[in-house]
Amino acid sequence: MPPDQAQVAEARRLRAAIAETLDEAGFVLPGSVTRREMRCGRPDCRCHDDPPRLHGPYWSWTRKVRAKTVTKLLSEEQLEDYTAWIDASRKVHELLRALEALSVGVVEADPRRRS
Ligand SMILES: [Zn+2]
C-alpha cells in the first residue's frame, strides 16, 4: 500500500525543512553547549570568597565520541559562530526522526506480505 496523500505531503514538508535548515546553517555540529563558572585551586582567590566570585563564564561544548564525552571550552566569539551549527544539528535530527516515524508508519500499514 503506497503512502497516502497526507503522508506524501508530510514527507515533502519534512524533507524541505531538513534541506532549509542545512542550507541556512551550512554546517552542523553535534553535542551541546553549557555555561560554566569555575573555582580555581588558589585558596586566596576571589573565587573562594563568601559569596564566591567565580571565574568565567566559560562555554563548554560537549559531544560524544565513541560513547565517551569530549569537552572543549569555547570563547564567547566561538560560541557566537557555532551556536547556529549546534542548533541546526539538533533540528535536523528531530526532523529526521519525524520522517523516520512517518516512514515506519507507512510500512506498518502495508498489508502486503510474502506468501
Ligand atoms: Zn580563583
**pLDDT of residue 105 exceeding 80:** yes
Ligand 1 centroid from CA 74, angstroms: 19
Domain for residue 36, yes or no? yes
Domain for residue 58, yes or no? yes
Ligand 1 centroid from CA 61, angstroms: 22
Number of separate domains in the chain: 1
Q: For position 29, what pLDDT does the model report?
A: 97
Domain for residue 60, yes or no? yes
Domain for residue 114, yes or no? no
Contact (Cβ atoms closer than 8 angstroms) between residue 64 and residue 58: no
Cα 41 from Cα 17, distance rounded (Å): 48
Domain for residue 81, yes or no? yes
Ligand 1 centroid from CA 42, angstroms: 6
Domain for residue 115, yes or no? no
Average pLDDT over residues 90-103: 98
Ligand 1 centroid from CA 78, angstroms: 23
Residue 57: asked if its preceding bond is cis (omega within 30°), the reply is yes
Average pLDDT value for the chain: 94
Range of the domain at 56: 5-108
Domain for residue 48, yes or no? yes
Ligand 1 centroid from CA 73, angstroms: 17
Q: What is the pTM of this model?
A: 0.80
Contact (Cβ atoms closer than 8 angstroms) between residue 92 and residue 18: yes
Domain for residue 113, yes or no? no
Ligand 1 centroid from CA 49, angstroms: 9
Ligand 1 centroid from CA 43, angstroms: 8
Per-residue pLDDT tens for 25-79?
999 999 999 999 989 999 999 999 999 999 989 999 999 999 999 999 999 999 9
Q: What is the DSSP letter of 108?
A: H
